[in-house]
Amino acid sequence: MTLRELCANHTALSEADISILERAACTLELISDLIAGDVFIDCMGRDGIAIVVAEAKPRSTRSEYAGSVLGQQALIDNEPAVYHSLKEGVPMHDIKAVTQENITVSQDVTPILNEKGVTIGVLIGERNISRQVLLERKFEALSSEWPDSPADESLTGAIMQQIRETNHRIKNNLQMLSSINNMRMRRSQSPETKKRLLENTNMLLAVASLHEMLAQEEIVHTEQKISLPVLLRKLADGLSSLMDNQQRVEIRLECDEVFVSQQRAIPIALVVNELLTNSLEHAFPDGSGNIRIVLQKGNLLSSIVVHDDGAGFREDARRGLGLKMASMTVRDRLKGELIIRSEHGTKATFSFMT
């Protein structure tokens, strides 16, 4: 069946939306050859289940599919990135999925929008990671067979102590760099240079504060995971303590219990720190308002929303160094996208693997 027939039979898309998908489908073979992988377009069916409406296989390398999957369903448990991108309208990168032929792949997914900015489908690029998954399973099996040792508990305690000491040293080094920045800022005669150095100083202090928090025992879970609700609470309390005495801004947290590795906790906290700082500095001209931090746990992807009820988002703010760094951090380290829009104030959302 053609893309138009599949969309007409299984989706609620309009003729105009289907035409947009047809134009996108014309590029699939080129994209497939470019990434040397299988490429698809999926749409949401009337029954709430995604369906494959277009596909292309690479001509220069072997496809991972024995046959066609046109018209077949993509299940949410097998392809979570597809559903997240269809629902939220954001790209997802390097997300594990299982194909209709039971092959483990990594997916890059990006939304296809109509003229009104509504997501009408997603473009999917895939590559086989079955060998990587097999090696991970073998490693896990070997780890589970390793006999328990009476020294395990004391060894874990020693490791955790070493981690805390390392975070403490990193904090001290960052604070020293911040002091050097401050000296340069005081000597500079250029207002623009002073502004840039101040931004750099604030970022260094933010990272230093994070490492100071990570050096505290109560944040680290027994499995060497970081409690995000505890970390976010300390982050919010720390920024609240720096507010001007005339500011009356309440920061409220609504958090599911989520534990992540330190490697993931640091970029998450950096992004939240920047979003909170941005709201505190720009959202409330009269000095009063509310900020909500919502942490929602998902089976594969969790999300964080930072929403203030202030003056709304100015598009020129995207050019600021802080938000640029936050967007890059979400894209490069969390494999997602930072979405910021005006919605009864400013609402910023990003997702990450858990």
- Whether the full predicted model's pTM is greater than 0.75, yes or no, is no
Does residue 91 surpass a pLDDT of 50? yes
* 197-211: pLDDT as tens digits: 766 776 676 677 667
- For the chain, give the mean pLDDT: 83
* C-beta separation of 346 from 279 below 8 A: yes
Ranges 105-109, 129-133, 220-224: which has the least confidence: 220-224
* 268-299: pLDDT as tens digits: 988 998 898 888 888 888 888 999 999 998 77
Class of domain 3-133: alpha beta
Per cent of the chain over pLDDT 90 is 35
Does residue 167 surpass a pLDDT of 80? no
Residue 331 to residues 87, 228, 267, Cα–Cα distance (Å): 18, 20, 10
The conformation of residue 57, written as its DSSP 8-state character, comes to -
What pLDDT shows up at residue 56?
A: 96
Residue 213 to residues 50, 162, 278, Cα–Cα distance (Å): 42, 15, 21
> SS3 for 65-131, per residue?
CCCCCCCCEECCCCCHHHHHHHHHCCCEEEEEEECCCCCEEEEEEEEEECCCCCEEEEEEEEEECHH
130 Cβ contact partners less than 8 Å away, ≥ 6 residues apart: 103, 104, 105
Same topology, domains 3-133 and 223-354? Answer is no
Beta bridge partners of 124: 40, 109
* Residue matched to tokens 């299982």: 98
What pLDDT shows up at residue 104?
A: 87
* C-beta separation of 3 from 22 below 8 A: yes
Q: How far apart are CA 112 and CA 108, in angstroms?
A: 13
Tally Cβ neighbours within 10 Å of residue 281. 10
Domain boundaries, the chain: 3-133, 148-215, 223-354
> Given phi > 0 = left and psi -120 to 50 = alpha, else beta, which region is 352?
beta
What pLDDT shows up at residue 87?
A: 87
142 Cβ contact partners less than 8 Å away, ≥ 6 residues apart: none
Ranges 36-40, 109-113, 122-126, 234-238: which has the least confidence: 234-238
Residues 223-354, CATH architecture? 2-Layer Sandwich (3.30)
Q: How far apart are CA 41 and CA 51, in angstroms?
A: 9
* CA neighbor of 272 nearest in space, from 300, 307, 301: 307
HSE-up of residue 178 (Cα within 13 Å, Cβ side): 17
Residue 43 to residues 17, 18, 54, 163, Cα–Cα distance (Å): 11, 10, 10, 46
In this structure, what token pair is assigned to residue 310?
């202030």
Beta bridge partners of 346: 308, 342
What pLDDT shows up at residue 242?
A: 63
β-pairing verdict for 248-255 and 288-296 = parallel
